[in-house]
Amino acid sequence: MSFLVSGLYVSLTALLIIALSLYVIKMRRKHRVGIGDGEHRELSIAIRTQANLIENAPIVLLLMVLAEANGLSILWLHLLGCVWLFARIIHPYGLVKSNGGIHWGRYYGMALTWIVVFALAGVNVGFYLGHLLD
């Protein structure tokens, strides 16, 4: 069995993690801080943009791989994968632009992330329940 679609979104998420990691490195160099945030808000925000993605990626990507293995259509996998990536791009944008405050990017980024988690979890539970009825 191959996981071409979920493999694509795992790979694109990895590239996004690298991009956010490079942003953290840039802020660490700017503020000359090796560990922690040195009480620099800009660095703290950069660290949180990276950490928030890393906190959410495992469950979404695992659910996506399982949904693909269970037979979710390519169209739905791509739709959910695109929403996931869009959410994970606008969330750090909002966090940085608002200096850690309220911003539409943060709000919709997290809301869309949770929608994707809920949808993929529901799909996988649905596949299980469908299997029980067979």
pLDDT at 13: 99
Per-residue pLDDT tens over the stretch 60-73:
999 999 999 999 99
CB 81 within 8 A of CB 9: yes
Instruction: Give me the mean pLDDT over the 63-92 stretch.
Output: 98
The predicted model scores a pTM of 0.94
Domain span at residue 35 reads 4-133
Which residue did the predictor score with more confidence, 36 or 116?
A: 116
Instruction: Give me the mean pLDDT over the 90-95 stretch.
Output: 98
Is the pLDDT confidence value at 112 over 90?
A: yes
Instruction: Give me the mean pLDDT over the 16-40 stretch.
Output: 96
**Helix ranges restricted to H, 71-134:** 74-97, 104-133
Amino acid at 101: G
Instruction: Give me the mean pLDDT over the 3-21 stretch.
Output: 98
Amino acid at 81: G
Amino acid at 109: G
Contacts of 32 by beta carbon, 8 Å cutoff, 6+ apart:
38
Residue 119 CA from chain centroid, whole number: 14
Domain count, the chain: 1
Q: Cα 70–72–75 angle (5° rounding)? A: 160
The domain spanning residue 26 has which CATH number? 1.20.120.550
Is the pLDDT confidence value at 22 over 90?
A: yes
Consecutive H or E run containing 12 = helix 4-31
Per-residue pLDDT tens over the stretch 33-63:
999 989 999 999 999 999 999 999 999 999 9
